[in-house]
Amino acid sequence: MWVFGLFLLVPFVEIALFVTVGAWLTLWPTLAICLFTGVLGAFLVRWQGLGVLRDIQAAGPLGDPLSPMAHGALILIGGFMLMLPGFFTDAIGFALMVPALRRVIIAYLGTKIRLSTVQMGGFRADGFRAGPAPDWVDGDYEDVTPPASDRERLSRPSKWTEP
């Protein structure tokens, strides 16, 4: 229910801020600020997103990618908020671009979310398969579809099924 309230509240806050800032700055500077924050949001997502990718690569295959992935998700949300027109969403987007605030949000969400892992048989610690599973059957196949001339003969009941 609170999400529905946000969908109603955010546009009203944005409209109020547009009217207030537009009265103070006039139309064109207000629109220029909205355009600038959209472009800046796209730049920040790319720049900080590449930093997150470097962190994941530096951790290696045995490292924990959860924290960098959470940072990446918050960066994407922040960039999306910056690309939306409005001053309230820009403030949220800029706040999500601050690494210290993202760490606080991730720590808070970490207390609210329970994670579980699934261990699949046959994988080594480095993520590669150790070998085929014991219940696998390796085999080849050959297509034995009869030619069109034999299909009519084969579509009749077999003599083995006649009493």
Domain boundaries, the chain: 9-112
**Is a pLDDT exceeding 60 seen at residue 63?**
yes
CB 154 within 8 A of CB 146: yes
pTM: 0.61
Q: Enumerate the H helices of the chain as residue ranges.
A: 2-25, 27-59, 66-83, 87-96, 99-112, 148-155
- pLDDT of the residue at 116: 66
**Is a pLDDT exceeding 60 seen at residue 120?**
no
CB 42 within 8 A of CB 81: no
**Is a pLDDT exceeding 80 seen at residue 90?**
yes
Q: In whole angstroms, what is the distance from residue 31 CA to residue 38 CA?
A: 11
Q: In whole angstroms, what is the distance from residue 26 CA to residue 127 CA?
A: 58
- pLDDT of the residue at 95: 92
Q: What's the start-to-end Cα distance of the chain, in Å?
A: 70
> In the predicted model, what is the mean pLDDT of residues 90-99?
90
Where residue 121 falls among pLDDT bands split at 50, 70, 90? low
Average model confidence (pLDDT) across the chain: 79
CB 44 within 8 A of CB 97: yes
**Is a pLDDT exceeding 60 seen at residue 56?**
yes
- Length of the chain counted residue by residue: 163
